[in-house]
């Protein structure tokens, strides 16, 4: 499932994250590359142990935790702590690759299965040329370039790349999610059901003239959602 979340970061959070990371010391992006991606990765990355990286990571993590669309779309069990990358100049692209199936956080030695890959855009798209996140599907390519503060979630099994940045600079945060529901098609069904329940609940509330609670249909559909989640979830 491909899911776009607009304004995952509020404007003040976006400004603070940008200020923190732009003033920090960047390293070669291959510090976290696997054997396949290391051969095609040409960008810069913020080392995880820098104070600026820790502060920016906290801001992003806090914003994700309070975002209901992120929670219902990803059903996160574990989130790999957000990282930050930078494309521009000679370090301007990342070729076709698939993310490692399991990431191990260096500080905690905790393993995270990468069910979902995430890119949080941190630069105004008008400030740079190129830099699209390019996803390959059986039906063709999809090129994604979002506004600063917007987030995209996509299957970790996807072949993808970052197109060369030919003008300006592209800043982003990236991370992975181990979901409570491992299968992408099951997460999609649960997401669609939850969105339908939310819409019906709003309609129900608008029509309600007494404090009689939710309609029987909304209650039954909500029960179906939770019974499916109970069947599929690994917690």
**Concatenated DSSP letters for 79-114?**
EPPPEEEEEBTTB-EEEEE---SEEE-TTT--EEE-
Residue 94: the pLDDT is 95
Contact present, 41 and 100 (Cβ < 8 Å): no
Domain ranges of the chain: 3-179, 184-232
Q: Does domain 3-179 have CATH number 2.60.120.620?
A: yes
Give CA–CA dist 8/190, Å, rounded.
21
pLDDT confidence tier of residue 107, bands split at 50, 70 and 90: confident
Q: What is the pTM of this model?
A: 0.92
Higher model confidence: residue 221 or residue 35?
Answer: 221
Residue 140: the pLDDT is 84
Q: 174-230, pLDDT tens digit by residue?
A: 999 999 999 999 999 999 999 999 999 888 777 765 566 788 889 999 999 999 999
């Amino acid at each position: 499932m491909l899911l776009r979340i607009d304004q995952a970061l509020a404007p003040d959070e976006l400004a603070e994250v940008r200020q923190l990371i732009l003033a920090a010391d960047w390293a070669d992006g291959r510090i976290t590359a696997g054997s396949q991606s290391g051969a095609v990765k040409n960008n810069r990355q913020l080392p995880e142990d820098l104070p600026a990286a820790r502060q920016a990571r906290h801001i992003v993590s806090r914003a994700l935790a309070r975002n209901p669309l992120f929670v219902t779309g990803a059903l996160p069990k574990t989130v790999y702590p957000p990282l930050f990358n930078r494309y521009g100049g000679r370090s301007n692209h990342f070729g076709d690759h698939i993310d490692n199936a399991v990431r191990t956080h260096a500080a905690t030695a905790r393993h995270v299965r990468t069910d979902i890959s995430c890119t949080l855009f941190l630069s105004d798209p008008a400030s740079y040329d190129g830099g699209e996140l390019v996803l390959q599907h059986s039906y063709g390519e999809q090129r994604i370039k979002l506004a600063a503060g917007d987030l995209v979630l996509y299957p970790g099994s996807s072949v993808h790349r970052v197109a060369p940045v030919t003008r300006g600079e592209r800043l982003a945060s990236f991370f992975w999610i181990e979901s409570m529901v491992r299968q992408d098609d099951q997460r999609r069904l649960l997401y669609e059901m939850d969105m339908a329940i939310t819409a019906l609940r709003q309609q129900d509330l608008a029509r309600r003239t007494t404090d009689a609670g939710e309609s029987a249909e909304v209650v039954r559909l909500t029960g179906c959602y939770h019974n499916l989640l109970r069947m599929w979830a690994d917690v």
